[in-house]
Amino acid sequence: MKLRADTYKRGAIYSASLSVVVKFIAFIQNLLIAYYLGAVTGTDIYFYLFGGIITGCEIIQTIVSSVLIPRSMQLRNQLSAHEENSYINAFLYSISCIIVPIIIVIMATGEASIRLLSNFSENDIHEHIQLLYILLPVSLPYVFNIVYTEILTSHRYFIFPQLIAVINNLSIVFIVILFHEKWNTNSLAIGFSIATLINSIWLLIFMKRNLSWNYTCFSFVYLKGSLGNIGTVFANHSVVAFTTMFPLYLLSMFYPGTITVVTYAIKLLQAPMNLLLQLFTVLQIKLNEQYSLYALKEMRQTFMHIAGKAVLYSVIGAIFFFLLRTPVIEIFFGRGAMTSENTSLFIHILGILIISIPFSIIISVSSRMLYALQRVKVYSMIMMPTNLLTCAMYYWLILSGSANGYAYTVVLTEILKAAIITICTFYLLKKIK
């Protein structure tokens, strides 16, 4: 298979096709977790810790995609690949100096950290503390994997990052199948850790061979100019991270399995969304390149074309998804260790969350236009107050309605965010001449 896509259209097709394979494997992974492990306290704690790590990494991913990649492409196109290389390495080394001490502190405090950051009982935390010690050390190589994957995508290597995702999901599947009886929930954490380390090795070799990447060169000259935007994105997405974890914190006080069922619903919801979002990854790179070449009219045309199709497909997909959710969940998830109560809650929660799909797509495609225009502050000014409002609604609705309150909050706030960001995006588009 040819790993490098020569055109954006070809890249989008290849990437989306391989994404189907990735999502299918991820679907099988979730089925196996539900079948073998069900929805219990152990899975709750795993998804809580895993979600916290991934949420933190997503802050970095957003910084990379919205600030570093547009700037690195400018350096590459206007100066040289060496300048891009030094710029990215400077960021990686800087972020490592922040992440490593955090890992050390959390590892040293162990159970005390989880007690402080959750509502799980002391006995439950003590029983499953191994999950923390397995997951946390690989968070740093996972961050490096994120950055290198984004760099490869900006160089039009659309396929290899998807192959990395295949490895990640297959590793977890095999480990769960082989060792779920022996290691229980720890099998999930071990599978993720092994996959992350394998992916790191692959990426390091691929970057060296295909981009002649130099891992030792770095320069803070250009990074200094990006600190303002990095700080803005960090502040905004720290609020986003809090918004993501706060409902899980609240849900951790309810009956065992609640967080797990909500997580299953979110993952199943993301299956059709991620296919569309994969196309937007290619869109982001194309918009970045058009902006670096000052092709602003072409940017507007690209955005309008993709945005129209995205909204149409998401609405149609959401309707079919809503109608088919009950048989899908009963056939694929209503077995093994999953109880009938867990399955019923799963169906109900997913039905509410599906309503948010078109609005989430609108937010995603509009945000990529704002990033490409380097209007990061505009995006932050929209998201920060709405995310704070979301937290207030989570507190009110979850405490009164548990998992249902979580789902209603997601829908209501996604509608609000989509309305505001659409208005702002179209206003900026009108100013493009």
Q: Are 129 and 88 in contact (CB under 8 A)?
A: no
Domain that holds residue 324: 8-431
**d(C-alpha 430, C-alpha 402), whole Å:** 43
Provide the pLDDT for residue 19.
Answer: 67
How many angstroms separate the Cα of 224 from the Cα of each of 87, 89, 91, 100, 374? Answer: 10, 13, 10, 22, 16
Q: pLDDT at position 67, please?
A: 86
280 close to 362: Cβ distance less than 8 angstroms: no
The tokens for 93 are 């080394």
Contacts 24+ apart (CB under 8 A), 427-433: 428/369, 428/370, 428/373, 428/375, 428/378, 429/300, 429/303, 429/304, 429/369, 432/296, 432/297, 432/299, 432/300, 433/296, 433/297
Q: Is 198 contained in some domain? A: yes
- Structural domains in the chain (count): 1
Please state, in angstroms and rounded to a whole number, the distance separating the CA atoms of residues 25 and 29: 6
Q: What is the pLDDT of residue 284?
A: 62
pLDDT value for 94: 92
Q: Is residue 1 part of a domain?
A: no
Per the structure block, which two tokens stand in for 152?
Answer: 């490869």
Amino acid at position 431, single letter: K
> Token digits for 7?
């055109």
2 is a domain residue: no
State in Å, rounded, how far the first CA of the chain is from the last one: 41
Q: Are 45 and 260 in contact (CB under 8 A)?
A: no
Q: What is the pLDDT of residue 11?
A: 58
Given a contact cutoff of 8 angstroms between Cβ atoms, the answer to whether 357 and 266 are in contact is no
pLDDT of residue 144: 93
Enter the tokens of residue 340: 């009938």
Looking at 110-159, list the stretches that DSSP marks H as alpha helix, in order from N- to C-terminal side.
Answer: 111-117, 122-127, 130-135, 139-154
What CA–CA distance (Å, rounded) separates 347 from 9? 36
Token pair 């409002």 is at which residue? 389
**Three-state DSSP state, 271:** helix
Say if 28 falls within a structural domain.
yes
**Per the domain annotation, does 3 fall within a domain?**
no
Judged by DSSP in three states, 128 sits in coil
Each of the 433 residues of the chain gets a pLDDT tens digit; together they read 344 544 555 655 666 666 677 777 877 888 888 889 888 889 999 999 999 999 999 899 888 888 888 888 888 888 888 888 988 989 999 999 999 999 999 999 988 999 988 888 888 899 999 999 999 999 999 999 999 988 888 887 877 777 777 777 788 888 989 988 888 889 999 999 999 998 899 899 988 988 888 888 888 888 888 888 888 888 878 888 888 899 999 998 888 889 999 999 998 888 777 766 666 666 666 776 777 667 777 777 777 877 788 888 889 989 999 999 999 898 888 777 888 888 999 999 999 999 999 999 888 888 877 777 777 777 778 877 888 899 999 999 998 877 889 999 999 999 999 999 888 888 887 776 5
What does the pLDDT read at residue 353?
95
Q: How far is CA 286 from CA 149, 162, 282, 292, 373, in A?
A: 16, 18, 6, 10, 12
Instruction: Establish if 20 belongs to a structural domain.
Output: yes
pLDDT at 6: 46
* Residues 153 and 11: beta-carbon distance below 8 Å: no
